[in-house]
């Protein structure tokens, strides 16, 4: 059996940055051992890389099926403008264009070192791309639409059960009526992935204000869930406290929202940040410092190529740089994402017995431990 011994300036274990480690890897990618070594130069047969060796990235939020919309929607449309634009441009592509775009985006993620993805889906066209991929996908079939019934949500959950790793989730706290939302959050036991407080309009809706309220009024749609008072209170009242929940975007989460949610949930609450998508759509930034102080676990996602120039996890970390130490950003991009998707026993950290992938993060300033504009990553294992 040809094992490989791999070392670099630093190893990020999934929790911490450590110097002088040799990782021994079996041909199937399993980690055999992780050993400290004070004198790497004297070690025979060790492949040495310049940079930081990390477990494979976990992209906690993506919509791979929208990859064909790369560049189709201008930057800076704002939240309501983006929803309008995506409806307008969606129809003009063939199935094969959509599949090929998804395949290319999947291959680019794999090359960058992405090991697993929490991926939102509205149809099944690109499921074969994900099933054939080396990347592990958890597909969240999204219940969406104010006219969607609870029965429709049940059918969606039954369809999801036909795939290897898939489940149903509500799209958001503003796009489903009460009964279907409750149905979606009670189906199965998989994690939920809910778009949450991406824009101030989501909370304003509960007071009859903002662009969502105006749009719904124009369409003649009434909401039967406004009595909850806010998106945070709706989640806390409808979702069981032991459910694993990912709340995605969080740009407009207030400290009170965070406290309502964190006092409700017994299992960790995952804040999934997609900074490039927020920049692309609205120039907004998530309240990283408040979320770190409030509690819960932060993960990193890319959102889709419809609202991001890249699905690179390193580019997301660059945009979060300075708001938390690099070691913490790396934990968000690996271990926390693996935990959020329930994959922490196999991936997310470099430990004997796991098969997390190994990724080399290059062009890092090793004196300041900061990413540079040139920082990038590539897969070693």
In the complex, minimum distance from the CB of residue 142 to Zn ion, in angstroms, rounded to a whole number: 9
Beta bridge mates, 12: 17
Distance CA 354, CA 33 (A): 10
Distances (CA, A) of 227 to 185, 217, 230, 256: 18, 17, 8, 18
Report the nearest approach of Zn ion to the CB of residue 21 (Å).
36
14 C-beta neighbours (distance < 10 Å), count: 22
> Is residue 5 within 8 Å of residue 22, measured between CB atoms?
yes
**Integer CA distances (angstroms), 243 to 77, 140, 170, 267, 337, in order:** 34, 15, 14, 7, 16
In whole angstroms, give the CA distance from residue 140 to residue 120: 5
Instruction: HSE, CB side, 13 Å, CA atoms: give it for residue 54.
Output: 34
- Please say which residue, 144 or 181, places its beta carbon nearer to Zn ion: 144
User: Nearest residue to Zn ion, using CB?
Assistant: 303
Helices (H), the chain: 79-89, 95-112, 127-132, 150-160, 178-186, 201-204, 210-219, 231-238, 255-264, 275-282, 288-294, 313-320, 326-331, 337-340
Place of tokens 């997301």: 316
CA distance 7 to 245: 36
State in angstroms the smallest separation of the CB of 82 from Zn ion: 11
Binding residues for Zn ion, how many (CB under 5 A)?
Answer: 1
Q: Which one, 78 or 229, has the nearer CB to Zn ion?
A: 78
Closer CB to Zn ion, 308 or 320, in the complex: 308
- Closest contact distance (angstroms) between CB of 233 and Zn ion is 22
Instruction: Write each residue from 288 to 327 as x if it is in contact with Zn ion (CB under 5 A), else as -, in one continuous string.
Output: ---------------x------------------------
Question: In the bound complex, what is the minimum distance in angstroms from residue 117's beta carbon to Zn ion?
Answer: 12
Residue span 215-234 as binding mask against Zn ion, x where in contact by CB under 5 A, dash where not: --------------------
* Residue whose CB is less far from Zn ion, 276 or 303: 303
The pair of structure tokens assigned to 287 is: 């309240």
Tell me whether residue 115 or residue 119 sits nearer to Zn ion (CB atom). 119
Q: Minimum Å distance from CB 103 to Zn ion?
A: 20
What one-character-per-residue DSSP string does 7-27 give?
Answer: EEEEEE-SS-EEESEEEEE-T
Name which of 8 and 139 has its Cβ closer to Zn ion. 139
CB of 274 to Zn ion, least distance (A): 7
* Shorter beta-carbon distance to Zn ion: residue 12 or 196: 196
Cβ at position 157, least distance to Zn ion in Å: 20
Residue among 85 and 303 whose Cβ is closer to Zn ion: 303
Which three-class secondary structure state does DSSP give residue 314?
A: helix
Pairwise CA distance, residues 85 & 77, whole Å: 8
Burial of 44 (0-12, 13-18, 19+ CB in 10 A): exposed
Closest CB to Zn ion among residues 187, 198: 198
Q: How far is the CB of 303 from Zn ion (least distance, A)?
A: 5
How many helices (H) and strands (E) are present in the chain, helices listed first?
14, 15
In the complex, least distance from residue 249 CB atom to Zn ion, rounded to whole angstroms: 7
Of residues 23 and 308, the one with the C-beta less far from Zn ion: 308
Residues interacting with Zn ion, by CB under 5 A?
303
């Amino acid at each position: 059996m040809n094992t490989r011994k791999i070392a670099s300036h630093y190893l990020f274990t999934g929790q911490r940055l450590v110097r002088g480690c040799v990782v021994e890897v079996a041909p199937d990618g399993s980690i055999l051992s992780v050993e400290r070594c004070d004198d790497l130069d004297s070690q025979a047969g060790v492949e040495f890389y310049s940079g930081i060796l990390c477990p494979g990235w976990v992209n906690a939020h993506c919509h791979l099926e929208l990859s064909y919309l790369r560049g189709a929607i201008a930057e800076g449309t704002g939240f309501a403008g983006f929803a309008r634009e995506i409806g307008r441009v969606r129809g003009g592509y063939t199935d094969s264009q959509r599949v090929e775009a998804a395949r290319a985006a999947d291959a680019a993620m794999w090359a960058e070192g992405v090991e697993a993805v929490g991926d939102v889906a509205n149809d099944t066209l690109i499921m074969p791309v994900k099933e054939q991929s080396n990347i592990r996908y958890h597909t969240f079939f999204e219940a969406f639409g104010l006219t969607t019934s609870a029965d429709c949500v049940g059918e969606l959950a039954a369809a999801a059960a036909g795939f290897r790793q898939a489940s149903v989730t509500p799209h958001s706290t503003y796009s489903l009526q009460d009964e279907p939302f409750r149905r979606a959050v009670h189906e199965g036991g998989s994690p939920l992935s809910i778009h949450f407080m991406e824009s101030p309009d989501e909370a304003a809706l509960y007071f009859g204000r903002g662009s969502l309220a105006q749009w719904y009024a124009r369409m003649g749609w009434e909401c039967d869930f406004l009595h909850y008072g806010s998106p945070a209170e709706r989640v806390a009242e409808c979702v069981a406290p032991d459910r694993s929940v990912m709340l995605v975007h969080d740009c407009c989460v207030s400290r009170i929202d965070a406290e309502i949610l964190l006092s409700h949930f017994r299992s960790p609450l995952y804040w999934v940040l997609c900074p490039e998508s927020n920049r692309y759509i609205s120039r907004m930034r998530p309240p990283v410092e408040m979320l770190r102080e409030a509690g819960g676990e932060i993960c990193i996602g890319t959102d889709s190529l419809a609202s991001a120039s890249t699905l690179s996890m390193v580019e997301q970390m660059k945009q979060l740089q300075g708001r938390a130490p690099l070691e913490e950003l790396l934990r968000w991009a690996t271990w926390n994402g693996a935990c959020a998707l329930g994959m922490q026993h196999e991936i997310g950290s470099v430990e004997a017995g796991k098969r997390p992938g190994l990724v080399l993060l290059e062009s890092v300033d090793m004196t300041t431990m900061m990413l540079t504009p040139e920082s990038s990553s590539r897969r070693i294992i």
